[in-house]
Structure 1
């Protein structure tokens, strides 16, 4: 039952003709999804993929991604998840490292993937093309013509997935996961929120991230429920999809929940009453922000989840009843199936008021980092996984993340190496807020015409709220991706999404090096109130 192909088999037996996947105006029942996965397994076999080979998947949130991606798991293939939105060559480097022989790529991404220096045979997916208009060699056309594979899967200890993560250094590392580990991740996740047998779960965060794929897509399929796919995150589209599909559960980074309130003028006109659970991860919410979101969404059912890609991901959770009283904390102890402790430098467990590294233990950990024995040895202490997060324990046993052992900045739910973010932009002499070339929602980006008042407010806010801060003193973004007011709101929201504690930080200035600047929390609160 812990082989991932069993998820499909069980769904067919328990919920055969129930809706399993929704993508735009297309729908698949559990039975149709299983049948299509087996036909896709035949296509991949005919393309030359053999048990133990590695398949690259570079798509958006479409049926060719994590959901229909179960096809490669049916026949015991390893899957390497690429990053279709990476503009800086990370996808190509990941392909080279994972050793994929066959790849499924969204046609829109095609050139970025096929131009990478990797010996991969690509099958192009055209998820938005009508069946009658598909090219004969399109992945969907090949699947439609194939006979279902009728073989049996291998043992649940086989490798199922190589999931890339930025980790603590910013250098992508491949987390190697087994069928059993991912299946147990789904089980523990479903028990944590908890999920019900009538869920309609919106997947709007990138499905090539650990949590949308292994936590939420897999757990929803485990229960025989419905996965609603949104191709890419967009605030208005998220609201429209929730309303149209009567979504019951939504997961996103904090910015994904904040942005609709900030940027959609007619937010209040949307009917979001179907949603039972608003789940967020990759960063905390302070009490004031949580209170404002609860009011905006008309719900107190907010859940925070904390986990590490190397663990499935599993970790800890903060329930709706704890959102305000314990705002900022990740929870007390581990989620179901997980043990969590905070370890001091001397190896003893941290007590109330003490700080140490967060360690996790479960049945879900990765086998190790792909082709990196040293990094694997460093991250494990026996059967404990060392998270690299520093946590402080309060008097009630709740743990709050206060820093990273290595410096990274989380933007829009993704880890970015601080050194790269602090690198001056070409021709500006000032620190970049994001890696060169990025201008996507959820990353702190603003146009050149951001006013001096807003620029100053951003600097004050950033100087108090990031463990390692790149304070924006001059905007050096070449492209104008947002209007002034929208940019101010989104940059502030993105900063909030990475908030750990309002710690004094180093402010980076152009031309005069690093000078320590201490700002009061009152100044940052004034900026936050101005944004709202």
Structure 2
């Protein structure tokens, strides 16, 4: 009955003339499903939020920024970037910082002037930062104090304007301070630029199986369609009325607790964008802490959490869970990694007003491909949901032939949410996107109802708490130690984080190395989350197949067997 009600509501919302009606249009030579009522750019969506005036927009510790103040700062920063930073439409502006309010102001200022955000991973080491700056060639860099210290460790970093925030001491006189860029009490209007739907919006870096991060180039059309796809899903849930609505006063506003980085699509595209669009309040955390999250849920009354499943698990299993009021939560789950079926039941029992939920997406899809929340998810807890309205999905065999429902194969996606390509990597782009179809690298099954289940991963990646780790990158760093003869890196299941990296290492004859020594070697070469949590030293060569490739799965299964 629930599935029938869902299909009926979806048909109504996408019918000709309805808010989420779509038609086939050609985008960059590819026929895709495009919403008929989609705004031209993300700038247009942000501009409309000025009407929320004095309502809270950003909350960080004891700081509160209203929509009116955020718009003032956005105009001031955009004016500074254009006048003093030399940033023009189409130029890139890199942001490297924690989830501070400044990250969000910098984001909206950049995209509203027609420039392109480069979201740098705040975990990156100086060497990784240097790679990102060299690859993206930004015209300006907006950075916090922690990242500024790492930047200072880079030899010959780009001679571009660097704006530093959250740092008052030890700064040279010539460093540009954030406060000076947003000080204008009455800044001019945003630049009058015409932004095409297919103009570049943002570059987010994703770990590739070659070991080098790839800059995924997203467009305004992709981001807008992700917001509308998510809006469609929320509207459909509302129509089928799965649960009694949470009582809210007339003046209550939507709110979300952001527990994941803004430099990923989960935090940015799937929470910052939609929450801002509806005039919601974004509550930011300095770092993840389950106790602090419960305090913020109690105090700020968010209805959603931008979280990975490990965070949701820590919340519902927290020993002090019952001391806090969590009744504001309308859903709880996570993206970035699979939600284990047992957690679906734990969420349902722990938060009566909260629907368990999950979704599936990639950096390369600028957001979500599917969503699955509430009663339907409880009915199909092993799936990530059906494709959203402007998403086509199919599974194919090794020869590219489409497979019938129920048979596993690689999942392919075609949609306006697919990235334009990888920055400076035409060969990688051509390999990943063929005739408009994105090869996800994930092995999936599509059932008779059109719901997708992810059953395996074709890419050589570890997904640690939502962070993609390229096994090849970690292996390359391990091989830099002279004592190492052979090494492979693979995913090890972890109850809290979903997966963590593990390594099997064979030493050279006479090599002297232990786990602590290897981790010390990797410290500084890799961001801390990439360093293997489990290390095995083997005394025999690693097994290989006929073509000489290591049999990773065989080694992993043997090492992890009870």
TM-score bracket relative to the smaller structure: 0.7 to 0.9
1:47 aligns with 2:98: no
Structure 2 CA distance for aligned equivalents of residues 407 and 368 of structure 1: 20
Aligned in 2, Cα 1:145/1:88: closer, same or farther, shift over 3 Å?
A: closer
1:86 aligns with 2:114: no
Aligned to 2:31: none
Task: For residue 274 of structure 1, report the CA deviation from its aligned partner.
Answer: 1.1
Aligned in 2, Cα 1:393/1:475: closer, same or farther, shift over 3 Å?
A: farther
Structure 1 CA distance for aligned equivalents of residues 540 and 103 of structure 2: 47
Query: For 1:317, what is the secondary structure of its paired residue?
Result: strand
CA contact (8 A) 2:72 2:185 kept: no
Indicate the larger mover: 46-55 or 99-108: 46-55
CA contact (8 A) 1:393 1:400 kept: yes
Structure 2 CA distance for aligned equivalents of residues 241 and 287 of structure 1: 27
Q: Which one of 184, 208, 221 corresponds to residue 145 of structure 1?
A: 184
User: TM-score, normalized by length of structure 1?
Assistant: 0.78
Q: Which one of 316, 320, 325 corresponds to residue 266 of structure 1?
A: 320
Q: Which one of 521, 538, 541 corresponds to residue 510 of structure 1?
A: 538
Aligned in 2, Cα 1:513/1:122: closer, same or farther, shift over 3 Å?
A: farther
1:111 aligns with 2:139: no
Which string of whole-angstrom CA distances, capped at 9 and with x for unpartnered residues, describes residues 128-169 of structure 1?
Answer: 879xxx999421233113652323132233222111111444
Residue correspondence of structure 1 range 53-68 to structure 2 within 5 A? 53-68=91-106
Task: For residue 409 of structure 1, report the CA deviation from its aligned partner.
Answer: 1.0
CA contact (8 A) 1:317 1:331 kept: yes
CA contact (8 A) 2:329 2:354 kept: no
Structure 1 CA distance for aligned equivalents of residues 306 and 267 of structure 2: 8
Structure 1 CA distance for aligned equivalents of residues 320 and 485 of structure 2: 37
Which string of whole-angstrom CA distances, capped at 9 and with x for unpartnered residues, describes residues 467-489 of structure 1?
Answer: 996589x9935799xxxxxxxxx
Aligned to 1:77: 115
Aligned in 2, Cα 1:430/1:219: closer, same or farther, shift over 3 Å?
A: farther
Structure 2 CA distance for aligned equivalents of residues 198 and 135 of structure 1: 42
Residue correspondence of structure 1 range 186-225 to structure 2 within 5 A? 186-193=227-234, 198-225=253-280
Aligned to 2:16: none
Indicate the larger mover: 53-62 or 162-171: 162-171
Aligned to 2:407: 354
Task: For residue 433 of structure 1, report the CA deviation from its aligned partner.
Answer: 11
Task: For residue 250 of structure 1, report the CA deviation from its aligned partner.
Answer: 0.4
Aligned in 2, Cα 1:471/1:259: closer, same or farther, shift over 3 Å?
A: farther
CA contact (8 A) 1:8 1:30 kept: no
Residue correspondence of structure 1 range 80-479 to structure 2 within 5 A? 80-87=118-125, 89-116=127-154, 117-127=156-166, 137-145=176-184, 147-150=186-189, 151-156=191-196, 157-193=198-234, 198-261=253-316, 264-332=318-386, 334-421=387-474, 423=478, 470=503, 476=515
Which string of whole-angstrom CA distances, capped at 9 and with x for unpartnered residues, describes residues 246-299 of structure 1?
Answer: 11110211112223455x542332221111111411221232232234334445
Task: For residue 396 of structure 1, report the CA deviation from its aligned partner.
Answer: 4.4
Structure 2 CA distance for aligned equivalents of residues 428 and 372 of structure 1: 33
Aligned in 2, Cα 1:246/1:468: closer, same or farther, shift over 3 Å?
A: closer
Structure 2 CA distance for aligned equivalents of residues 336 and 392 of structure 1: 19
CA contact (8 A) 1:240 1:270 kept: yes
Query: For 1:335, what is the secondary structure of its paired residue?
Result: coil
Aligned residues: 472
Which string of whole-angstrom CA distances, capped at 9 and with x for unpartnered residues, describes residues 170-228 of structure 1?
Answer: 42111112223222222222322459993101111010011211121011111122222
Aligned in 2, Cα 1:352/1:475: closer, same or farther, shift over 3 Å?
A: farther
Which string of whole-angstrom CA distances, capped at 9 and with x for unpartnered residues, describes residues 53-75 of structure 1?
Answer: 21110011011113442011121
Superposed CA RMSD in Å reads 3.9
Aligned in 2, Cα 1:267/1:169: closer, same or farther, shift over 3 Å?
A: farther
Aligned to 1:23: 60
Aligned in 2, Cα 1:72/1:120: closer, same or farther, shift over 3 Å?
A: farther
Aligned to 2:525: none
Query: For 1:283, what is the secondary structure of its paired residue?
Result: coil
Task: For residue 120 of structure 1, report the CA deviation from its aligned partner.
Answer: 4.2
Indicate the larger mover: 300-309 or 178-187: 178-187
Structure 2 CA distance for aligned equivalents of residues 388 and 366 of structure 1: 15
Aligned in 2, Cα 1:420/1:96: closer, same or farther, shift over 3 Å?
A: closer
Structure 2 CA distance for aligned equivalents of residues 478 and 143 of structure 1: 47
Q: Which has the larger radius of gyration?
A: 2
Task: For residue 426 of structure 1, report the CA deviation from its aligned partner.
Answer: 6.4
Aligned to 1:439: none
Task: For residue 427 of structure 1, report the CA deviation from its aligned partner.
Answer: 10
Which string of whole-angstrom CA distances, capped at 9 and with x for unpartnered residues, describes residues 100-148 of structure 1?
Answer: 1210001122121243343143434434879xxx999421233113652
Task: For residue 393 of structure 1, report the CA deviation from its aligned partner.
Answer: 3.3
CA contact (8 A) 2:463 2:500 kept: no
Aligned in 2, Cα 1:226/1:431: closer, same or farther, shift over 3 Å?
A: farther
